Structure 1
Amino acid sequence: MPERTGPLLRVPLDEDAVAWHRLFDDPEVMRYIGTGLVRDLPWYEAFVGRQQQLARDSGLCLFSLVVDSEVVGFAGVQPWGADWGPTGELEIGWRLGRAHWGRGRATTAARAVVQRARSAGVPHLVALVHEANAPSLAVAHRLGMAPEDLLVSPEGLRVHQLGLRLGS
């Protein structure tokens, strides 16, 4: 069935924690995210709160991706939060529930995020993608991101750092 409306990015609402938890309570969705840990609802409630604060502070965050009035995932920008990798950089990221894979939604949303970041004066974005996550690597390449580094996470996973210059 064709989508009735195009994807919308908006600052997550409190109730989006429930949607994110439902969408991401799936080991297959989380397979390439950090350690692959599936999180509980309180974790997502706190996560949404952090994204709301980030949006208030910077205008950017991991935005809820809404299609036909349904939250299907998120896409956005947040500071790299781990104590390894590109400390101090802004990371672009996207995550969709499994039922929403393969429809071009991650690419469409990520392109909109790049435009928002560019409009906000962000000079550079990074994406960190597990080496076996071919769909996310493809999204990063469609955005024009280029390889910057090959990292090894504390868990021993090989992670590509891709970058995109937005400013002069």
Structure 2
Amino acid sequence: MTVRLRVPTAEDADAWTDLFDDAEVMRYVGSGEVRDRAWYAAFVARQQALAASTGLCLFSVLVGDQVVGFTGVQPWAQPWGPTGVPEVGWRLGRRFWGRGLATEAAAIALDRARVLGVPRVVAMVHADNAASLAVARKVGLTQEAVLRAPSGVPVLQYGTALASVSTDTPDAVPDA
């Protein structure tokens, strides 16, 4: 299955709200809180601004014309762990799990980061989230540290150096 990435549109806030209005999807994300449309609208605006300034963000993941989730690279913004280090992340709606879409999308996002000269990324994954840990390994990340979130939850820090590629422009990464 082929996925495409795009900078999120205002309409994607609706799609993300619907996709992530699921306690199981949010189980390993922060406090597990399901967010409302207003939260996702502000989140989309932040991602658009990040994309405009850096070329990276949490991109909408599309299969055909359907938004199935997001993936991308943004600075780790928590006051604990690798604050400010670029983090690759992904989240899909539950009905899209188990198809390899997160792995495919995350690989595209990492390629984009590599082309843009990002030297290193991390992925911060709840220690019990076997599916996301598998994605991290499949895209070439290795475990670097075991941390504890302020809530006490164990979080595994995965990471990798991104080797530079011999590409003239960031536009060389399709659809990102």
AA aligned opposite 2:40: Y
1:138 counterpart (134, 137, 144): 134
- Cα drift, residue 147 of structure 1: 1.1
User: Is residue 102 from structure 1 mapped to residue 98 from structure 2 by the alignment?
Assistant: yes
Residue number in structure 2 paired with 1:65: 61
For residues 15-51 of structure 1, give each alpha carbon's deviation from its aligned partner in whole angstroms, at most 9, with x where no partner exists. 0000000000100000000110100110000000000
For residues 39-88 of structure 1, give each alpha carbon's deviation from its aligned partner in whole angstroms, at most 9, with x where no partner exists. 01100000000000000000000000011200000010011011111012
Cα RMSD of the aligned pairs, angstroms, is 0.9
For residues 99-128 of structure 1, give each alpha carbon's deviation from its aligned partner in whole angstroms, at most 9, with x where no partner exists. 000000000001101100000000000000
AA aligned opposite 1:166: L
Residue number in structure 2 paired with 1:124: 120
Aligned residues between the structures: 164
SS in 2 for 1:139: helix
1:14 and 1:149 map into 2 onto residues whose CA distance is 36
Residue number in structure 1 paired with 2:52: 56
Residue number in structure 2 paired with 1:32: 28
2:38 and 2:150 map into 1 onto residues whose CA distance is 25
Residue number in structure 2 paired with 1:17: 13
1:115 and 1:68 map into 2 onto residues whose CA distance is 21
SS in 1 for 2:61: strand
The gaps in structure 1 that reach 5 residues or longer are none
SS in 2 for 1:18: helix
AA aligned opposite 1:11: V
AA aligned opposite 2:67: V
Identity %: 59
User: Is residue 164 from structure 1 mapped to residue 160 from structure 2 by the alignment?
Assistant: yes
The gaps in structure 2 that reach 5 residues or longer are 165-176
1:68 and 1:165 map into 2 onto residues whose CA distance is 31
2:149 counterpart (153, 158, 164): 153
AA aligned opposite 1:92: V
1:163 and 1:72 map into 2 onto residues whose CA distance is 25
Residue number in structure 1 paired with 2:43: 47
SS in 2 for 1:25: coil
1:119 and 1:68 map into 2 onto residues whose CA distance is 25
- Cα drift, residue 167 of structure 1: 3.2
